[in-house]
Amino acid sequence: MEILHSENFWVAVAFFIFIILSYKKGKQIIIEALDKRIENITKKINDAKKIKEEAENNLLEAKKNLKKIINEREKILKEAKEESKIIKKELEQQEKINNERFNKKIKERIEQSNIQVIKEIQKQAVEISLKSIKELLLKSEKRETEESNFITKSITNIFKKDKAEQKL
């Protein structure tokens, strides 16, 4: 019975009772806390599943949109290529027309230059001809004058000789 009077015995009994009571009360609290935790985790998992499903739906929709965009891009590129071919043909035709106009203008200028050069040559030829004729006429007049002077001198000399002979 000494054990019943020992402090250590009663501390051990109290500790043991405390543990039994704590276990009974704590077990319920722990189970409730674990149940709440499980419920939260389940909610989070369900939310995550919903988010995953939404993400998959968004991914599918994004893939569809991407396909549409790729198809539209290809269509636009095809139309742009066709339009660029048309524009290229139009530009080539316009360039051809412009080249023809340019060549025509050049030919017209060359013709005008040729006509102008021919007119200048004709004008110079006429001027040279006139100068030559004037010079010939002047020379011819000079010759005629010289010839007439010569004839006059000759006649005068003849007359002088005749008079001198007559005097003799």
Q: What is the pLDDT of residue 89?
A: 95
What's the number of domains the chain is made of? 1
pTM of the model: 0.40
CA distance 101 to 108: 10
Mean pLDDT in each 10-residue stretch from start to end of the chain (168 residues)?
A: 75 89 82 92 96 95 95 95 94 94 94 91 84 78 72 72 66
Domain membership flag for residue 67: yes
Domain membership flag for residue 150: no
Q: What is the pLDDT of residue 54?
A: 96
Domain membership flag for residue 156: no
Q: What is the pLDDT of residue 145?
A: 72
Locate 163 and state its tokens. Answer: 């008079």
CA distance 148 to 44: 146
Domain membership flag for residue 87: yes
Q: What is the pLDDT of residue 153?
A: 76
> Which residue matches tokens 């590129």?
77
Q: Is the separation of the CB atoms in 118 and 126 below 8 Å?
A: no
What separation in angstroms does the CA of 19 have from each of 14, 22, 95, 114? 8, 5, 105, 131
Domain that holds residue 48: 35-129
Domain membership flag for residue 121: yes
Cα of first residue to Cα of last residue in the chain, in angstroms, is 225
Quote the strand ranges of 12-147, DSSP E. Answer: none
Domain membership flag for residue 79: yes
Backbone angles phi, psi at 2, to 5 degrees: -65, -25
Domain membership flag for residue 41: yes
